[in-house]
Structure formats: C-alpha cells, structure tokens
Amino acid sequence: MSNYPDNMNWARYDATIGSVGTTAERVWEIEAEQLNDIAKRAYHEFPLNSTQRRQMIGDAMDKAQSRITCHVSLSSKEKVGLLRCYYGVMAADSADQSPQSVSEQIGDWMHIFYLAIERQQREGVL
C-alpha cells in the first residue's frame, strides 16, 4: 500500500493553471514540491525505519514520474539517468540516512525531467 496521497493538492494545481509555463513545467513544479514534502514527512514519520522511508519515497517518485511523463517524452539517455538517480536516492537513504543527501538525490532525479522538458521545448514539441 502506498503512503503517497492518491489525490494531488488540486487547489494548488488549479492555482498554477493560470501561471506562466507549459503544462509540463507546471506539473513538474507541483511534483517537485510534493516529493520534497514527502521526503521530509518520511524522515519525520519513520526516523528509524529506512525500509519504510524508501517505500514511501519510492512510491512518490513512481507517481511523480507517471504524472510528468504524461506531458513529456524521455529519451533513452534520460531514462538511464532517471534510473541511476532513483538508485542514488535509495542508496543515499541506506548509506548515511541523511534527509539532506536524499533531498539532493531527488533534486538530481527531478532535474532530468526538467532537462527533458527543455529539450522538447527546443525541439518545438512543447
């Protein structure tokens, strides 16, 4: 069972519809914020249980990826980068169990999506 909320914060999502940027960029911003919140919550709720934290963060990353990839296509290179960063998040939690380290790895993971959005904008797809 996922610890990630099944419903997005729709009020926040609706508020961003009118903001500047493509739909992909707005979805990316929402997912980045939610992942940051979930990572913090995982360390607060499970300070001594890295298995539970990794499950919670992993579920959130999976959902974020599925929501973002509805709006942007990933190249093979970007998919490999995502996979490496995903394992980096899990390894960071296992190794030093530092919220800072995990947050940095999640940031690297999200950055790949941002680069994919930028690439597709340059290509005129978005």
Which string of DSSP letters, residue by residue, matches the chain? ---S-SS--HHHHHHHHTSSS-HHHHHHHHHHHHHHHHHHHHHHH-TT-HHHHHHHHHHHHHHHHHHHTTT----HHHHHHHHHHHHHHHHHHHHT--HHHHHHHHHHHHHHHHHHHHHHHHTT--
How confident is residue 20, by pLDDT bands cut at 50, 70 and 90? low
Instruction: Please give the residue that has the higher pLDDT: either 98 or 56.
Output: 56
Residue 5 resides in a domain: no
Residue-number span of the structural domain to which 25 is assigned: 10-122
- Report the distance separating Cα 53 and Cα 32, nearest Å: 17
Instruction: Please give the residue that has the higher pLDDT: either 9 or 67.
Output: 67
How confident is residue 68, by pLDDT bands cut at 50, 70 and 90? very high
Instruction: Please give the residue that has the higher pLDDT: either 20 or 60.
Output: 60
In percent, how much of the chain has pLDDT > 90?
60
Length in residues, the chain = 126
Residue 3 resides in a domain: no
Work out how many domains the chain is built from and give that number: 1
